[in-house]
A = this chain, B = another copy of it.
Amino acid sequence: MNTMNTTLQGKVSTNWLDAVKWNSQGLVPAIAQEVGTNKILMMAWMNLASLQETVELGQAVYWSRSRGKRWHKGEESGHFQKVKEILLDCDGDTIVLMVEQTGVACHTGAHSCFFNLLDQSQTPYVWQSETQKNDH
C-alpha cells in the first residue's frame, strides 16, 4: 500500500506494475474506451500477466473469469483492440484502455456492449436496446 501511494504521488514508479492494486483474485477491472469517439466499448478483467502482455503486444489481453484463462480479445472473432494509451485511476484499482477497435467490441455484434438504456418513461421501467444508435 505504501509503495503504491508513494509511486502514484511521486508520479514516477520504478516498477509500474507495483502501482496496480489487484483484488483478492489478483484481478483489476479494465474499461476499453474508443479513441476519437470516447465511447465505452466494454469492461473486462486483467491479471498481472494479461496487463504485461497487453503492453508488450499493443493489443488488449484480458483474463476471462468465466473460462478461467487468458483472453486475447479478437483471437476468435478477429475483433482486436489496438491499445493506444493505458490509464490508471487515483487509487490504482481500475484501468482504462484507449483502443482502436477492429470490427465490433461486443459478442452480440453491437459496436459497444453498453446498448441497454434504462427507459424511465415507461412503467415499469424497461431496458431498451440501443444497438441501432450504437452501431452507426
A residues sitting closer than 8 Å to B (CB atoms) are 7-8, 11-16, 19, 29, 31, 33, 37-40, 42-43, 55, 85-92, 94, 96, 106-108, 110, 113-118, 120, 124-130
Contact = CB atoms under 8 A, between A and B. Distances in A.
A94 to B, nearest CB: 5
Nearest to A110: B90
Copies of this chain, whole number: 2
A42 B127 CA distance: 23
B88 A114 contact: yes
A8 B89 contact: no
Nearest to A125: B16
A16 B124 contact: yes
Contacts of A11: 126-129
Contact of A88 (B13, B55, B85, B127): B127
Contact of A118 (B87, B118, B127): B87
A96 B114 contact: yes
B89 A113 contact: yes
A117 B124 CA distance: 42
A116 B124 CA distance: 41
